[in-house]
Structure 1
């Protein structure tokens, strides 16, 4: 199989971008995500795939609840912040208007279209991402009229490469 052909086909889907946030105790984090989808109608489920390189992934392993924020086309600045900085050494939520959601999940005030979800399953089949299957527990706002798409974020350089793996569970927690 040609990886170039697969990459071209996958890129053609041009998914909407989200910011996923979570917290484990006093440590909080968030990351830009392009791999996400409704995954069941009854019962309702939403799945998010997180890079194993991300600080947020390591927080999510210990978290029961997460927030899925649906970005509008005008929110490239948030995509840049959550997609290019590393949570290993930066609190990406610092200086942003946030509120505590259920179970302490940080909610971005400037992104009112969001789901608060409870993690019900985790699938790690050996790739560079893991799938978190979740149950929606709260829905806020309305979807953006024009979502921010992956094609609008191609100028961003990720805070981590997909080949990275980290230990301990979070770098800032080890400090």
Structure 2
């Protein structure tokens, strides 16, 4: 349960959305992410938070390389695709145009503004998301764009509820 007013405050912030893709042992994964930020200027680091309920989280536990794709206002359908389907029972990449990096990370052709990062840390503080910090290996920019924001998606039903998380840390009781 969130602190009183936190949902209102965060709704006003209206974060831009990204799609994170990765792979491990030949298994591809990708999900819509709303929690992310640059975390260091020198060296260049980027953080994103993955829901423990998502298939992408389970693949990320075994992966070191990720693509962070920035969505534009023209990318609503891709946002819905990666945000409302579950990779546990759906191949999210079927029918999409993508290429693989040498590390097997899917790069979505329709989302050319992206970072390629290598994991340097993953923090699980007991919440329903984990923070992954990556060293920025490369940046691809197709030009200026207007970011797609959560408020622009309307009602989006996620592929998994937070209660479905794979790992649940127990906090000590007083």
Matches within 5 A, 1:90-169: 90-142=90-142, 144-166=144-166
Matches within 5 A, 1:10-159: 10-142=10-142, 144-159=144-159
C-alpha separation in 2, matches of 1:148 and 1:165: 26
SS at match of 2:164: coil
Q: Deviations over 1:44-70 (max 9, x none)?
A: 100000000000011011001000000
* TM-score, reference length from structure 2: 0.91
* TM-score, reference length from structure 1: 0.91
Decide whether the 8 Å contact of 1:38 with 1:46 is kept in 2.
yes
> Can you give the 5+ residue segments of structure 2 that lack an aligned partner in the other structure?
168-174
Q: Deviations over 1:142-161 (max 9, x none)?
A: 46521110101232100001
Distance 1:144 1:87, change over 3 A: farther
Which of structure 1's runs of 4+ aligned residues deviate more than 3 A? none
Distance 1:63 1:2, change over 3 A: closer
Report the aligned-residue RMSD: 1.6
> Which residue is 1:170 aligned to?
none
Q: CA shift at 1:76, angstroms? A: 0.4
